[in-house]
Amino acid sequence: MIEVRRIGAEDWAIWRELRLRALADAPEAFGTTLEEVLGRDTEEHWRAGVTAPMVPFLVEADGAPAGMGRLLLDDTGEVTELISVWIASEARGRGAGRALLDAAVEHHAAHLADTRLLLAVVETNAPARRLYERGGFVVIGPNPEDDAELLMERLRGGGAQDR
């Protein structure tokens, strides 16, 4: 069974475990390395990653932590970005990615609907791109901050469930 829930500062240790696992599993998918993150491995750092302005989500598969993602409103107040998305191998192919994406999109629609919803994805990560495309995201161009990534934006009302 797949479940997605919001988490907060009290869940920092779970977030830490997942983030370190994600960086070890898919280092090319993130803008930081495992070594960099371990260099700032403090409770304060991890709590900051799961408190405002972050909106963190935890994916659980059969009651165990199996994925994560978070929304972040940018400094301009005009863009919300879906970041830090990762699903553990044991939860892939079971709807965990879609459940996470749906939870983030629903939160965005309810609380941040006046902002654009963007994400960056490694261009060669075909499974992630397919997931995002099925969720209503379209490629809007290369990521100016990372040559290996594409920027995607969710069009209002865009998604297979909305058609």
Beta pairing partners, 154: 137
Is the predicted pLDDT of residue 118 greater than 50, yes or no? Answer: yes
DSSP state of 102: H
* Per-residue model confidence (pLDDT) at position 158: 58
Average pLDDT over residues 85-113: 96
Predicted confidence (pLDDT) per residue in 119-146, tens digit: 999 999 999 999 999 999 999 999 999 9
Predicted confidence (pLDDT) per residue in 42-51, tens digit: 999 999 999 9
Q: How far apart are the first and last CA of the chain?
A: 26
In degrees to the nearest 10, what's the CA dihedral of 44, 46, 49, 51?
A: -60
161: confidence class by pLDDT, cuts 50, 70, 90: very low
8: confidence class by pLDDT, cuts 50, 70, 90: very high
- List the structure tokens of 46: 């991890």
* Per-residue model confidence (pLDDT) at position 93: 93
Residues 6+ apart with CB under 8 A from 138: 152, 153, 154, 155, 158
* Per-residue model confidence (pLDDT) at position 157: 61
Average pLDDT over residues 5-30: 95
The CATH number of the structural domain formed by 2-162 is: 3.40.630.30
* Per-residue model confidence (pLDDT) at position 31: 85
* DSSP codes, 10-30: GGHHHHHHHHHHHHHH-GGGS
* Per-residue model confidence (pLDDT) at position 160: 45
